[in-house]
Amino acid sequence: MPIYVAIAIGGAFGAVIRYWLSTSMEHLNGSTFPLGTFSVNVFGSFLMGALFILFMEKAELIAAYRPLLAIGFLGAMTTFSTFSLDALLLFQQGHYNTALFYVLSSVIICIFAVYFGMLLARAVL
């Protein structure tokens, strides 16, 4: 499969999953905290960690799927631009504590999510 087709297919599925997960989480949200974007980015970070281990340690099995999964699917599912907009809007609306918590927790928790995804993938291999 050509690389651009693989990326497009992965991106289509990633965008749909992002929309579904984000809107599902926002239905549970009762605050100004952007729970949908936060959840999508944490879940995507976890998957990226797991996929990284699969790509590195099982390269012969999964290398062909890297463009589809990492670039297409996770690239479309997670989004730094939405995170940035959410944080800026919180600041502009005067929700300074929520904005600061959102920025710090997103970065820190997403890094840990990548790490835990890597741990899980190593345990399963």
SS3 call for 82:
helix
Q: Collect all residues with Cβ–Cβ distance below 8 Å to 20 and sequence separation of at least 6.
A: none
Distance CA 8, CA 100 (A): 34
Within 10 Å of residue 31's Cβ, how many Cβ atoms? 8
Domain of 35?
3-124
Residue 33 has a pLDDT of 95
Residue 55 has a pLDDT of 83
* The token pair that represents 101 in the structure block: 């918590």
Residue 61 has a pLDDT of 58
Q: What is the pLDDT of residues 78-117, one digit of tens each?
A: 989 899 999 999 999 999 999 999 999 999 999 999 999 9
Residue 34 has a pLDDT of 96
43-54: average pLDDT: 93
Question: Which residue reads 């710090």 in tokens?
Answer: 104
The number of folded domains in the chain is 1
Q: What is the pLDDT of residues 53-84, one digit of tens each?
A: 888 877 665 667 888 998 999 999 998 989 99
Q: Report the percent of the chain where pLDDT is more than 90.
A: 77
